[in-house]
Amino acid sequence: MADVAIICGSASDAAIADKAKKVLDEHKVSWDYQVISAHRDPDTLDAYVKSSTCKVFIAIAGLSAALPGVIASKTDRPVIGVPVSGTLNGLDAILSIVQMPKGVPVACVGVDNGDNAAHLAIRILKLGKK
């Protein structure tokens, strides 16, 4: 299976996922892409996270941006959150992603910055190879 799982909370976030896919492709890192809402389809998200053998998750979400935290609550693998710009220019999503409770860590990159999420995932994967 893929090294990196990219999950968007909405199909409208696909352009941000495309940035991550491009970087991963350039570095020959395998990925899987899914659109699964933490709010609208929690059972599907739970099943996907539990069945995935990826090494790193990239979770792209706006508004309440619950997706990265929900994924992190279901796995001990690294989760990188990508906040999506919205009515508050992504501030709401950033705050949601960085305010995880103790024991549920999520890394956070800049608003709409799928590129940096992929670069961070690549660095994490390199650590596992040392």
Over residues 28-74, the pLDDT tens digits come to: 999 999 999 999 999 999 999 999 999 999 999 988 899 999 999 99
Give counts: helices (H), strands (E), the chain: 5, 5
pLDDT reported for residue 100: 92
Q: What is the pLDDT of residues 67-108, one digit of tens each?
A: 999 999 999 999 999 999 987 999 999 999 999 999 999 999
Question: Cα-Cα-Cα-Cα dihedral of 5, 9, 10, 14, to 10°?
Answer: -30
pLDDT reported for residue 130: 65
d(CA 76, CA 94): 21
> Over 80: is that where the pLDDT of 25 sits?
yes
Question: Under a CB-based contact definition with an 8 Å cutoff, are residues 118 and 24 in contact?
Answer: yes
Question: Six-digit token pair at 50?
Answer: 């539990």
d(CA 109, CA 89): 14
d(CA 58, CA 81): 6
pLDDT reported for residue 64: 85
How many other CB atoms are found less than 10 A from the CB of residue 48?
19
Phi first, then psi, for residue 124 (nearest 5°) are: -65, -45
Question: Under a CB-based contact definition with an 8 Å cutoff, are residues 63 and 11 in contact?
Answer: no
pLDDT reported for residue 36: 97
SS3 14: helix
